[in-house]
Amino acid sequence: MYRLSWPCATFFAGIGLSLLIKVEIIHDDQANVYVATSPDLKGLVVEAETLDELARRMG
């Protein structure tokens, strides 16, 4: 797999190579939610009360 943030990722995706997207998940204790962000997808912020719900929202 090839990281989305690496050079030429768009080219490799265009020829059918799978891309790997790094997602970081934290638990916000104050809000009691899980928050997912990604350095590869600028602006991605998803939050949910459970990890299963988080996965569904990202899927």
Q: How far apart are CA 10 and CA 28, in angstroms?
A: 33
**Single pTM value for the model:** 0.76
Please say whether the beta carbons of 4 and 12 come within 8 A.
no
**For 4-53, how does the pLDDT look when each residue is reduced to its tens digit (9 = 90+)?**
888 888 898 899 988 898 999 999 999 999 999 999 888 999 999 999 99
The domain locations on the chain are 23-59
Q: What are phi and psi of 33, to 5 degrees?
A: -135, 160
Phi, psi of 45 (to 5 degrees): -145, 115
